[in-house]
Amino acid sequence: MKINGEKIRAEVFAFDGCHKIYICKSASESEEAMQSGYTILPIDQLESTYERSCELRFISNWKLDKSFVEQFTDVVEFT
């Protein structure tokens, strides 16, 4: 999957049920996200989850050192 032309190398992401979307690149990140109360979803559900999330939405990696879509910024393209 790509977001705005940037390749996402992950199988799952964490979602808080509202607007926080974090790409999880390892089993340990997924486990930490689950323990923090996030739902873990397959990466093929990322676009639909983003589209139905609230307008505060963003997509980042779990480590918070990479932002794929900043808050209040629209995604140009999912592929």
> What's the whole-model pTM score?
0.93
Q: 60 has which bridge partners? A: 22, 67
- Ordered by start, the domain boundaries in the chain are 2-62
Q: How far is CA 77 from CA 26, 44, 56, 66, in A?
A: 25, 14, 18, 18
pLDDT in tens, the chain (79 residues): 899 888 999 999 999 999 999 999 999 999 999 999 999 999 999 999 999 999 999 999 999 999 999 998 876 688 8
Q: Encoding tokens for residue 22?
A: 């974090």
Which pLDDT score, from 0 to 100, does residue 73 have?
Answer: 86
